[in-house]
Amino acid sequence: SLLADVLWDDLGTEDHDKILEVTGVQIDAYLEHFYEPHWAIYNGNNWTPVLAEGVLYWAIAYYHEDDRAPEVAWRALQTLWLHRDFYLEDGVYKEGLMMYTSVSFLNLLELNALVMPAFGAPLESVRWDRLKLTADWMLDFIAPDGLTVDFGDSWAKRGWQDFSAPNLGGDFRFSSS
């Protein structure tokens, strides 16, 4: 995306063709996995937003240059619905605390920031109203000693490496930045 979006005008036709060739192989693999169907696309877990983000960056960058791009964008947005119910009604993220929640949320946030200016609408597949409860749940998992509670697939760790928990309390649904 950096090469295609930012540095595009500084690159020559040969560079453009090479970038599309290399990234196109990965896009073909994504579409093949979509139509198989392959578990990597259809498991719905925290990797779903990661994969969707990567291909959606490509699809938006090449939307008018490559016939596959509109379909890739549609398929990425479609698969995000598989992740919708990983944020439960009480705010619990069903894969566990630590990196699973951060991987999911940070990528959903970036995806939303990507689709807002590109398509003029937020991600409807995300239950944005549940994320404030998820922030509370994440903060409740920090014990008085500053370590997160060692539970399930999560492990004891000192605090957070990012601001996921406080950010979850924000209203990102209609933000385009």
Q: How many CB atoms lie within 10 A of CB 48?
A: 26
pLDDT for 136: 82
Angle at 68 between CA 40 and CA 13, to 5 degrees: 115
pLDDT for 168: 62
Cβ distance 29 to 75 under 8 Å? no
- The average pLDDT across 115-143 equals 86
Give the tens place of pLDDT for each residue, 18-54: 999 999 999 999 999 999 999 999 999 999 999 999 9
Give the tens place of pLDDT for each residue, 59-98: 999 999 899 999 999 999 999 999 999 999 998 888 887 6
Backbone angles phi, psi at 158, to 5 degrees: -75, 110
147 or 168, which is more confident? 147
- CA-based max dimension of the chain: 58
pLDDT for 166: 62
3-state secondary structure of 36: coil
Using CA atoms, how far apart are residues 171 and 169, in angstroms rounded to an integer? 7
Using CA atoms, how far apart are residues 8 and 16, in angstroms rounded to an integer? 8
109 or 81, which is more confident? 81
Cβ distance 22 to 60 under 8 Å? no
Phi-psi region of 3 (alpha: psi -120 to 50; beta: other; left: phi over 0): alpha
Using CA atoms, how far apart are residues 123 and 103, in angstroms rounded to an integer? 17
Judged against a pLDDT cut of 50, whether residue 177 lies above it is answered with no
Judged against a pLDDT cut of 80, whether residue 153 lies above it is answered with no
Q: Which residue has the tokens 């409860």?
A: 133
Q: Which residue has the tokens 């877990």?
A: 45
112 or 174, which is more confident? 112
- pLDDT band, very low/low/confident/very high, at 148 (cuts 50, 70, 90): confident
Report the number of secondary-structure helices (H) and strands (E) in the chain. 7, 0
